[in-house]
Amino acid sequence: MRAPKRTLLESIDAPADLRRVPEDRLPQLAQELRDFLITTVSQTGGHLSAGLGTVELTIALHYVFNTPDDRIVWDVGHQTYPHKILTGRRDRMHTLRRAGGLSGFPRRPESEYDTFGVGHSSTSISAALGMAVAAARQQSSRQVVAVIGDGALTAGMAFEALNNAGDMDANLLVVLNDNDMSISPNVGALSSYLARILSGRVFSSVREGSKTVLSTIQPVFELAKRVEEHIKGMVTPGTFFEELGFNYIGPIDGHDLTSLIPTLRNMRGLSGPRFLHVVTRKGKGYEPAEGDPCVYHGVTPFDPSTGKMESKPTGKTFTQVFGEWLCDEAARDPRLIGITPAMREGSGLVDFSRRFPDRYFDVGIAEQHAVTFAAGLACEGLKPVVAIYSTFLQRAYDQAIHDVAIQNLPVTFAIDRGGLVGADGATHAGSFDLSYMRCIPNFVIMTPADENECRQMLHTAFVHDGPAAVRYPRGTGPGVATQTALNAIALGSAEIRRHGARVALLAFGTLLSAALDAGNALNATVVNMRFVKPLDTALITALAGDHELLVTIEENVVAGGAGSAVAEFLAQQQMVVPVLHLGLPDEFLEHGSPAKMLAECGLDADGIRRQVEAALPGLARVPESA
């Protein structure tokens, strides 16, 4: 029996194999790659729309450039599934975002083709510039390419890198993957033809030679330069990048391999800072994703024939609780302003943006600006609410300190994705916020244990006359119904949820549920601490006086976290009582199931119980039937 015929994609185990494929067969490869991507992600879940939009661009880059010797640096990483498939990881794509499997983002230990680890946006040009400078110092002829999306280009860091690269005359190619517009007439045959001509050696040599000749006649040179800029400004939108020192080419159709490949070949042969503008379409080739690329940006497993996704867990997520509270609070107080750094859907601001469009601001991928913008609003008597992921707030740390806290401004931080996030892994985990925020003077920091407490804490933060943060996890809570009424919680007030003996479990946030289960087994006192700052020092003092062991529990790194705050207070009071700190370990945790990851960290009920028993030998357990 004959073996089944291999597809073209199945014959490619590395980019070297790709470069042996005749050019006229590359469209067939693109279709096979797109089909494989849809099939794979339909089984694993993950990021879909962005990768569908970069199939042809990925093929063209690896076809023209001699990877891995030439470096391709991707931005964010949502769009790199085709890159993973073409660089020897096709047979492992079924493990995507699963424990022990492939990461959903470029990761240097995973492949030599992943030149730079990413997860946050707008880093590619800076990293690629560093690689280009290194190549020059090493007298290497290798090429360096940074691929950045139009969304990521909104961040200040990208412009800092562009400004630096142009000024240094670095040998760097920046490819702008512009997927925020349809392919309009100027990205057709004429534009593609112009791109090939403008990027060719003949035009470049004439252009540079003319500059040399005309520079001897200064008035003529200046006139010619202005004419060139105005002509290119009329034909292309690249004048801005030209002013930064880049040789701008484009825009061209990012799905047309017959334009992409010769243009990239021409640009590979040039030197200095180069900028190629390609226009692509998110979700390209898959009708459901083309119709709603936002919904299909990040997907759960789905039926590829219909696009219907698996149902998500029932229950209200903390993100939904925030979105509902924001609308209710905005209806009550016209001073409320909602701000997000390009995360309207992820942070739960869709309804707010529709109901209060004049009070909604999406500032783009610009976390630093978002925080200082909020500070400016607060200076003028408004009440800004910054909705931001924990991992992204890290990027605005200086602004939180310098522009908000020092001035003690009433800015509310709604911090989503606190703690572990599962499949997105270390780059997206909110593992450090309690540590990096707790040391900032003037901040109030709250960790709700359930949905209703989250709602009331958001109100507490909003009415507080100073900076305040409410930190909540991804996904659903324990199922506590939210109350319509908004009632501020007394600052620094904890509550005892179970009275016990010998051991007191001090839980910060949603790990209260696991602490209660462990407390029942251990006959321990269980406290919902609620506030990381200020602490309920009176209650901690009382607990330290009549318990043999205090146990702090948090979904944050132990180093410098909420537990550290408890230990610092006890030390200040010279109270000698053993304290066991349970939290995330001093390491970056890779992707996997959130529940399994918490168990591996000893933060489920059984893990808490075992660690307490090990710390206090002879502790009598409550019988199972009790």
- Cite the active site residues: 282, 367, 395
Q: How far apart are CA 126 and CA 107, in angstroms?
A: 17
Return the H-helix or E-strand segment holding 383: strand 383-389
Structure tokens at 72: 């391709």
Q: What angle do CA 85, 119, 104 make, to 5 degrees?
A: 35
* Strand pairing category for 336-340 and 360-362: parallel
Segment holding 339, helix H or strand E:
strand 336-340
Q: Which residues contact 555 (CB under 8 A, 6 or more apart)?
A: 418, 419, 420, 473, 508, 509, 510, 511, 583, 584, 598, 603
| ∠ CA 52-90-178, rounded to 5° | 25
Residue labelled with tokens 């009598």? 620
**Angle 148-152-158 from CA coordinates, rounded to 5°:** 80
Residue written as token pair 């990761």? 107
For residue 206 the two structure tokens come to 């004439």
449 CB-near residues (< 8 Å, 6+ apart): 478, 507, 509, 510, 512, 513, 528, 530
Instruction: Report whether 601 contacts 585 (CB < 8 A).
Output: yes
Question: What is the SS3 assignment for 143?
Answer: coil
- As a whole number of angstroms, the distance between CA 509 and CA 477 comes to 10
443 neighbors 412 (Cβ within 8 angstroms)? no
Q: Any idea how long the chain is? A: 626
Whether the CB-CB separation of 608 and 515 falls below 8 Å is answered with yes
Name residues whose C-beta falls within 8 Å of residue 542's C-beta, 6 or more positions apart in sequence: none
Q: Please check whether residue 421 is in contact with residue 430, taking contact to mean a CB–CB distance below 8 angstroms.
A: yes
Query: Could you give the CA distance from residue 579 to residue 573 in angstroms, rounded to a whole number?
Result: 14
First-to-last CA distance in the chain?
66
